Amino acid sequence: MDPLTLILLILCLTIALGFEFVNGFHDTANAVATVIYTRSLKPTVAVIWSGLVNFLGTMSVLTAGAAVAFKIVNLIPTDLLTSVNGPVGIWMILSILFTAVFWNLLTWYFGIPASSSHTLIGSILGVGLAAGFVQGKGWGGLNADKTLETLQWLLYSPLIGFAAAGVLYLIARALLKNRPELFRAPDGDQPPPWPVRLLLIGTCTGVSYAHGSNDGQKGIGLIMLALIAFLPSQFTVNPAFQNTEIQKAIVQIHEARPLLENAKFSDKGLTEKAQKAAADLADLESRIAGKTSLSSLSVADKADVRGDILKVNSTLKKVAKAPETSKADGKIFDGLRESLSGAVEFVAWWVIILVALALGVGTNIGWKRVVVTVGEKIDRRHITYAQGATAELVAMITILLATKIGAPVSTPHVVSSGIAGTMAASGAGVQLKTVRTLLLAWVLTLPVTILISAGLFWLTAGRFLAK
């Protein structure tokens, strides 16, 4: 590796870890705001504890998988992902990282609990759009299916948080009429009764863990993209995908290929894609047949194998869901897609540890600006014990469920919406000035980050794509 490339690799890794570091004090402040403002924990204790739990949440990727990471990565159009090696990949990563870190720092400076998820997703979409227009595809440069699916979750999760927290608060108020102290603001520095205190600490712990398990994967995905771009020989395909997995994939290819070749769909475009996928599978089989490990492939073959798998998997998912596909055939397509995913969707263990450390340490620095906004400026009155517990309980469940199905969601949006939902349910009202600022940041994040990353990518990588 030449010195310039090495410097750029170190820069990319540093910025990616910086994104997770900023994410720590930007997003996790939402988890500790309620325990701090209900006097359940001292600020220093709360942020240290939250940082530790964020670290553990990110480390859960070792056992639970990295579905969210690859959901983020796959927002990048397939043809751009397949050419991630070389200058295009390098400038793609840098454009995404610079934009994401810049917007996170800017919103943190003003104490706005904007979303790191929206920031990262907007940065990725900007790169896809820029690539599409440079290549003459226009809006077709976006991975439309993945984009729509991701944006739906970003939209639904705060609405779920608002409604569910409001309903849960009303239920708690109806069931706990004999505990009026739960529905009053803390008295000075007096902590709540121990049962309530343990509940609030528990929900803070749950939100911190959920945040680590979901947001930590976004940094993991970014670093793996950088490693693929700079070190294709080691990271283009999974070196642990060996003889047993290869033989299983070949058997599944033999089952799926004739089905794809003979498939007839009402959507002619899907029929053409199915036939193209069959040809790509034939090419894929020719490259991996007789190999005991994907690590034995040449660098060029690794890139081609990765490209074939990414393109085929996108088609297999659509074909499996087509109304003309039988359940039995759908299982064959889904089984093959799952097997092939193991060849390209993998994470180095040391990446998980580095991201977990960056997120955990970041939680302990710079948290106060956003905590003040969440704890003091959403409600017209001080947050109560019941409001803090219900909002965070809903946030914890929502984020953990999203992580389970591989959906990237926004911790600030879910927590802030949950608190606003309890305010509406309590009749306390909200501070409209703060809510307008939050909404403005939420609405602006996607278009602003799209424009910035698109501009950076066009200025840096445009000439390579236009060739």
Q: CB-based contacts of 220: which residues, under 8 Å, 6+ apart?
A: 58, 61, 66, 69, 347, 351, 352, 355
Question: How confident is the prediction for the chain on average, in pLDDT?
Answer: 84
pLDDT tens for residues 5-19?
888 889 889 988 988
Q: What pLDDT score does 332 carry?
A: 95
- DSSP states along 154-192: HHHHHHHHHHHHHHHHHHHHHHTTT-GGGGS---TTPPP
pLDDT at position 380 over 50: no
In the structure, what pLDDT confidence band is assigned to residue 374 with cuts at 50, 70 and 90? very low
pLDDT tens for residues 392-433?
899 899 999 999 888 888 887 788 788 888 888 887 655 555
Output the pTM of the full model.
Answer: 0.85
Angle between helices 368-376 and 87-109 (to 10 degrees): 50
| Measured CA distances, 434 to 104, 175, 417, 420, 437 (Å) | 18, 31, 13, 11, 5
Average pLDDT over residues 446-466: 86
pLDDT at position 460 over 60: yes
